[in-house]
Structure 1
Amino acid sequence: MAIIAKPHEDITEDDVQFLRDNYTSAGGLLPNAYSGGAFFTPTHVARFIVEALRGLSGGFSAGQTWLEPSCGSGVFIEHIPDDAEITALELDETSAKVTTLIYPHANVINADALTHSRRDYYDFVIGNPPYGVSIDIAAEELPDEYVTLTKKRDRYGGKSELAFIELAIKAAKPGGYIALVLPKGIGFSGASAKVRDLAKETCWHVASIELPETTFAHVGTTIKTDIHILRKITPNARKVYVEYSRIGSEKYPLDIVKQTDATTEGSTFWYEGQQPIFHAVITDIGYDKDGKSTDKWGDGLTQLDELLEAFTDGGLVRENCDPVAPFKDEYHGFSVKVPPHEEWRVKAGHVTYWNVLTLGRGEDINGTSSFDFDWQDRIVNEYKGAR
């Protein structure tokens, strides 16, 4: 507080380094998160998200646009290239000032993220929004309607994580990526149904990664969280309808995908370009519940570093893995449910990953294989070329 109270010209490099090393803000998982805090994400989790996006997008280029809608002290900004155009939103005035000092190249805005009005603009939207906090905002302050919020008279209310997902989707440009750390309930809770439907209607689902309960132990919580990576669809992507069935025994099932149409009862849809969804479970984040290091090899690496290889080799498919259909009629990609043939890996403490079927096991979809991992990029490039 003494540092940020100084006149800007009196703040030294040592002051900025002190803030970088020590300021972690109030904590977005705390009850006051939405009204006065931002959550410190472990730096290697933030680094993983940025590097996974680097691999998925084929590398970063100067001038690409980034949005961090709940930047806290800027742990995500730390890993974004300096030559990017970075917009960082932060409601807490102290956190915003600290982030401005540490990252002067970023455009840090001290404001309520939900009032941010830029739409279809950002190449990447990333972050770790506050969870479970009740939003109460005047309707006139919102730039447009929010399906995840409920209007009563002249005010909107709802849960923070749901509204932040909707904000990310609104803000990303068609073909842009969204990567957020979110509570486990996004995948199955009734309260999250609207945002799951919204994501299904507007995005390709790329990956979901379950983090261990120890990930946020340093702020005194064992809340279960996942990293979800989406990509906003472009208008030229068409819906493809499918239904799922199963053959074989319960112990050794085989999931089958069949193309249908919108009128078929029990069918679901994905967009052209939807690849098999990458799912993973991390069992070791690099430290235990007491904060003690679990780095047995002494190389500073964690299972996230091991998993990152999958995002940089261009495939996102694990060899010798039988892809499985979405779990128990949950026709979306948010529920990270370990299939029976992968459970032993989790129990053994290994990093575990598999694929969730969407459009089929390599079936032809409008002349393209459902396992064609370049299809999505071609759709996006076709859209960009036509503009």
Structure 2
Amino acid sequence: MAIVAKPREEITEEDIAFLRENYTSTGGLLPNAYAGGAFYTPTHVARFVIEALRGLSGGAFAPGSRFLEPSAGSGVFIEHLPQDSEVTALELDETSAKVTSLIYPHANVITGDAFRHDRRDYYDYVIGNPPYGVNLDIDAAELPDSFDTLRITKGRAKGKSEVAFIELAIKTVKPGGYIAFVLPLGLAYANYAEKVRRMLYETCWHVATIGLPGETFALTGTTIATQILIVRKAPPGTPLVPTVEKRWGSNFKRGGYDDITEFNARFLLGQTPAYFAKVTDIGYDKDGKSTDKWGDGSTQLDELLDDLTDTLMRENLYPHIPSWHSIKDVSAFMFQHANDSGDGYREASHVYADGPYRWNELTLGAGSEIDGVSTFDFEWQDRIVAEYYAGSALEEAA
């Protein structure tokens, strides 16, 4: 594009306005919006991610909130962030990085490899749609610290991009901060993702997993099924504790109470029931034709925002037998399993037949108490985080 090729001092306000209007997340600069594993995110998906985080933050972002987008692309997520926030955008592709810096001058756009970024426990939010399936090959000497998801071979750090980006997010977000990524479904079961599933399980509270249909990225030339994963980093030292429910039954079958403790189910203290949703219509079909029957531009993602803005829906959904029981691995509880045959999915597909489906899966309990705190208490995590920072402040004062 001629505008991007210009020296920065020759780029006019009209040029920037043209970029903002014409360079969309579906690929104004890159063929089919695909670049080395990166499928550029549809605008309404990026908007949903930001609005969901806004809802989880009490309806508004605090002034000066710190955001990291480690694979910024054209900046589609940044478009929806408040102007008074501190935004750091990392992007390997020079063209995309330049466009992002022109459209969003308030953002600190850094061109280069995200894995050289060395801020730790700093950001309030880490957001994005990291590249999928890219085989990373990085000079290990240039990494600021070690990555469990990368193996070192002859001085080179190698591994799959999506798992390494999740580890980077966990490293960079501060305790109590949120991570919201668009990710491939394969993370739920792939052997290469085992370490990062365990890492998420041991360091983060699960907030939501939202399945997206294959049509989501149809405009970028792929029908890969994806999901939005939202987690919150727990303070260091938050213990894994046993579930207090020993027997639990199927709400779908109305019975079949079984011992659910046989797989040593433990979760981070403060973990609420795991919230899942499945979008069945993203707003267009595989050919890009609109499916907006009401003509108002809304999609099923918009319907889910209320669930994350307040806790009413999440508090009242039945906590189903968790689908991870089908693979006998509690560390994978943040992802849906059982090929859409789990209790929660099946009941949700009947109760919310027109979509989106939504359901809870059991974690620590269904309202039973742990040390006097209800396992349905959605302010529990906030208190744990507040106590952590209060303790840190006392240590610094001493």
TM-score between the two structures when normalised by the length of structure 2? 0.89
1:312 aligns with 2:309: yes
Task: Sort the Cα spacing of 1:158 and 1:30 in 2 relative to 1 into closer, same or farther, 3 A.
Answer: farther
Give per-residue Cα distances to partners, 1:280-313, cap 9 Å, x unaligned.
0000111111111111111110000011111112
In structure 1, what is the equivalent of residue 358 of structure 2? 353
- Which whole-Å CA distance do the structure 2 matches of 1:318 and 1:284 have between them? 25
Superposed CA offset, 1:63-120 (max 9, x none)? 1100000000000000011100000000001110000000000000001011111110
Identify unmatched segments of 5+ residues in structure 2: 393-398
Q: 1:160-171 alignment to 2 at 5 Å?
A: 160-171=161-172
Counterpart of 2:253, as a letter, is K
Structure 1 runs not aligned, ≥5 long? none
Question: For residues 22-41 of structure 1, what are the alpha-carbon distances to aligned partners after superposition, in whole Å with 9 as ceiling and x for unaligned?
Answer: 333437985724xxxx5320
Q: CA deviation at 1:11?
A: 1.5
Give the TM-score of the pair, scaled to structure 1.
0.91
Q: Is the 8 A contact 1:241 1:267 kept in 2?
A: yes
Report the Cα distance in structure 2 between the residues aligned to 1:309 and 1:106, rounded to whole angstroms: 29
**Does the 8 Å contact 2:212/2:228 carry over to 1?**
yes
Residue equivalent to 1:334: 334
- Paired letter, 1:341: E
Larger mean Cα displacement after TM superposition, 375-384 or 317-326: 317-326
Residue identity in the other structure for 1:20: R
Counterparts of 1:217 and 1:89, CA distance in 2:
25
Equivalent positions of 1:221-370 (< 5 A) are 221-235=222-236, 237-242=238-243, 245-247=247-249, 251-253=253-255, 266-317=263-314, 319=316, 321-327=318-324, 328=326, 329-331=328-330, 332-337=332-337, 338=340, 339=343, 340-344=346-350, 348-370=353-375
Cα distance 1:31–1:74, how it changes in 2: closer, same or farther (>3 A)? closer
Change (3 A) 1:249 1:285: closer
Larger deviation, residues 193-202 vs 307-316: 307-316
Residues matched between the structures, number? 377
Q: CA deviation at 1:314?
A: 2.9
> Is the CA contact (8 Å cut-off) linking 2:32 and 2:221 kept in structure 1?
no
What is the one-letter code of the residue matched to 1:215?
Answer: T
1:18 CA drift (Å): 1.8
Deviates more, 1:146-155 or 1:276-285: 146-155
Structure 2: which amino acid aligns with 1:282?
A: V
Is the partner of 1:82 in helix, strand or coil?
A: coil
**1:317 alignment partner, SS class:** helix
* TM-aligned CA deviation for residue 383 of structure 1: 1.1
Note the aligned Cα RMSD (angstroms): 2.2
- After superposition, what is the alpha-carbon deviation per residue over 1:201-234, rounded to whole angstroms, capped at 9, x for unaligned? 1111111000011000011111010000010001
Once the two structures are superposed, the pairs formed by residues 1-387 of structure 1 within 5 Å of their partners are: 1-23=1-23, 24=27, 25-26=29-30, 30=34, 32-33=36-37, 38-58=38-58, 59-235=60-236, 237-242=238-243, 245-247=247-249, 251-253=253-255, 266-317=263-314, 319=316, 321-327=318-324, 328=326, 329-331=328-330, 332-337=332-337, 338=340, 339=343, 340-344=346-350, 348-387=353-392
Closer, same or farther: CA 381–236 of 1 in aligned 2, 3 Å:
farther
Whole-Å separation in 2 of the counterparts to 1:52 and 1:76: 12
